[in-house]
Structures are given as structure tokens and as C-alpha cells.
Amino acid sequence: MRYFKRPHKPKLKYKKAVKKPIPIECIQIDEPFEVETLEGMMKGKKGDWLMIGINGEMYPCDNTIFEKTYDIINDNKSNEKN
């Protein structure tokens, strides 16, 4: 079994890949929160985002990470009232 440890990048022949633009649901939470994830309970801080993945999985996302990796899209369906 191989063991990879940060911060050392293994000397391998890497390929380039771009993450697919798959829309997910998310909401910024204005208070500390906890969410049951596939890995167990995780905590989110005030201002972090609650993310709902493509298979319904939930997880917190730090606001700084969110701002670097996500763009909010305007979708009329998500703005409609049920």
C-alpha cells in the first residue's frame, strides 16, 4: 500500500482535470450549526454554507472556500414559491 503525506507531492505523471459544473443547492447559515454528513457529524461556523450534493448528501462549506470555488447561479425554479 502506498502512503502519501502532505505537503510532499509524489513524483508521478499527473493529468490535468477540471471539475464538472454540476449545480448543487446551498444556503449560507447565519449561526453556528451541525450537520450529519456521510463521514459523521460536522460543525459549520456562522457564515458557512450548508451544501446539498447531487445525491442528497449534506455538508458544511467554509465561506472562504465557497467564495473561491463556487458562483451563485440565478435559476428561476429555485426562486419559485412552493
* pLDDT tens per residue, range 2-57: 888 888 889 999 999 988 889 999 999 999 999 999 999 999 999 999 999 999 99
Is the pLDDT score of 78 beyond 60?
A: no
Query: Would you state the torsion angle of the CA atoms of residues 49, 23, 53, 64, taken in this order, to the nearest 10 degrees?
Result: -30
CA distance 51 to 60: 6
For residue 82, the model assigns a pLDDT of: 40
HSE-up (13 A, CA, CB side) for residue 50: 15
pTM greater than 0.95: no
Nearest to 63 by CA among 16, 23, 30, 38: 30
